[in-house]
Structure 1
Amino acid sequence: MNHKILHINSSGRVEGSVTRDISAQLVSQLQQQTGYDTMKLDLAEGLPFVDEQWIGANFTDPEQRSDRQKAKLALSDSLVSDLQEASHIVIAAPIYNFSVPAVLKAWIDMVARARVTFRYTENGPEGLLKGKKAYLVVASGGVPLESEFDYATPYLKQVMGFLGIDDVTLINANELGQAANEADLTQQLASIAENS
């Protein structure tokens, strides 16, 4: 595993996005504390959905894949490679209609791959992306985080754990976005980056 930070944005809003702003500042703090390079992925630009050809290619033995199948998996391979290279993952996610943006779900479908990022064992699934740290920077327009109506944060934590990433910190971007001033916000994010 290389020491890199993977910064994933999923908000459809570019200007004035709380999750984009808070996650960018968190990444800045992590860079200052670790010296690691950052890989940026903006999901708002769009991702394809898993389809029959993708599934067929994914479940074909790698040695037996045709050129067309390899091409079908090329984007997924690249997204998985980014995850494998990262030691820190920062996912910025607004809550849309009680859950994650569709494009973030599309990313999850592209990176949750049997025999690549998880495997089946006699004791159940085992994640293969161990030893990584994830930060979930989540904002909601009214759904309290971790309430019975919040299906986004439990889902993201479940996905991370399924992939082997058990060290997960949830950051309430709504609360941090209401910091008294920029210095206070910077201090809070520095503390989160250092202590989690």
Structure 2
Amino acid sequence: MDRILAINSSTSGEGSVSRALVEDTVQSLLAANPDAVVTRRDLGGDPIPHLTPKTVAGIRAVAATEDELVTKSLSDDLIAELQHATVLVIGAPMYNFSIPSSLRTWFDHVLRPRVTFAYGESGPEGLLKGIRDIVIQSRGGLYTEGPAKVIDFQEPYLKQLLGFIGITDVAFVHAEKIGFGPEAREAGIAHARSQIAAAVAQIAAGGATFPNQAEG
């Protein structure tokens, strides 16, 4: 039985393209596997507190103060959601060529030494294995090709963060040119939905790892 963790990070509310596509993905996964269990985390509507000097030891050291213990408890909960999941769905709109600060803060809480990654003789090793991930990337412009590709700091960053904790089986879905007018917007969303359908079909079939979708 699949256990789906769906994460939204958009601050645009119900008008968010990434939020709508995350829900499309979840419903498609449920159609393929009605017994799947879904856990939802809305980082845009219910943001996680940014780390501060008063709280950071709860993640990176030994929690001692009340503030540090509260932060460690939240980190424990977020990591437990990840460890329980077999399928991860992340809605990651592009904000200023990268990811929303709410999503970065989530990563700050789940990238935790000796829990989700560890250092060994050959360097860092991710400790979260076997999770398949569909990342929904909505973008106002075109970044999978052309002159703007070099300023896409979103997808390479997400690949690094996810891979660092062992999540390497990732399908990147691109909803691009959302800001280029109604026709381009609809075309971008339609393209993203076709990518979602392909990724969900592969999960449902129990296939091998996702193909490299970096080029769209």
Question: Same fold by TM (over 0.5)?
Answer: yes
Question: For the structure 1 residues 188 and 165, does the alpha-carbon distance in structure 2 shift closer, same or farther, using more than 3 Å as the test?
Answer: closer
Counterparts of 1:156 and 1:27 in 2: how far apart (Å)?
A: 20
| 1:109-139 CA-partner distances (Å, limit 9, x unpaired) | 0110001111111111100101110111001
1:52 aligns to what SS in structure 2?
coil
Which 10-residue stretch deviates more, 24-33 or 185-194?
185-194
Q: 1:175 to 1:98 in 2, by over 3 A?
A: closer
Query: How many angstroms does 1:100 deviate by?
Result: 0.4
Distance 1:178 1:122, change over 3 A: same
Q: Please tell me whether the aligned partners of residues 134 and 199 of structure 2 are also in contact (alpha carbons under 8 angstroms).
A: no
Matched with 1:170 is 172
Asked whether the 8 Å contact 1:57–1:70 carries over to 2, the reply is yes
What residue is the counterpart of 2:158 in the other structure? 156
CA distance in 2, matches of 1:30, 1:10: 20
Matching residue's letter, 2:43: L
Q: 1:191 maps to which residue?
A: 198
Point out where structure 1 has 5 or more consecutive residues left out of the alignment. none
Q: Which moved more, 1:97-106 or 1:50-59?
A: 50-59
Aligned twin of 1:37: 37
1:50 counterpart residue number: 51
| Alignment of structure 1 residues 63-142 onto 2, 5 Å | 65-66=63-64, 68=66, 69-142=68-141
RMSD between superposed Cα atoms in Å: 2.6
Pairwise CA distance, 1:54 = 2.6
Q: CA contact under 8 A between 2:136 and 2:175: conserved in structure 1?
A: yes
Q: Report how far residue 189 of structure 1 moved.
A: 3.2
Distance (Å, rounded) in 2 between the aligned partners of 1:181 and 1:109? 30
* Distance of 1:145 and 1:181 partners within structure 2: 15
Deviation, 1:97, is: 0.6
Which TM-score applies when normalising by structure 1?
0.86
Give the ranges of 4+ consecutive aligned residues of structure 1 lying more than 4 Å apart after TM superposition: 179-182, 184-188
Counterpart-to-counterpart distance in 1, 2:189 and 2:51: 43
* Identity score, percent: 37
Q: Give structure 2 stretches of 5+ with no counterpart.
A: 179-184, 203-209, 211-216
Match of 1:144 in 2: 143
Alpha-carbon distance in structure 2 between the residues aligned to 1:180 and 1:140: 9
- Asked whether the equivalents of residues 173 and 192 of structure 2 are also in contact (C-alpha less than 8 Å), the reply is no
The count of residues paired between Structure 1 and Structure 2 equals 191
Q: Say which structure, 1 or 2, has more relative contact order (CA 8 Å, 6+ apart).
A: 1
- Asked whether the 8 Å contact 1:143–1:149 carries over to 2, the reply is no
TM-score of the superposed pair, with normalisation by structure 2: 0.79
Question: CA–CA distance in 1 between the matches of 2:140 and 2:194?
Answer: 25
- Aligned residue for 1:71, secondary structure, equals helix
Partner SS, residue 29 of structure 2: helix
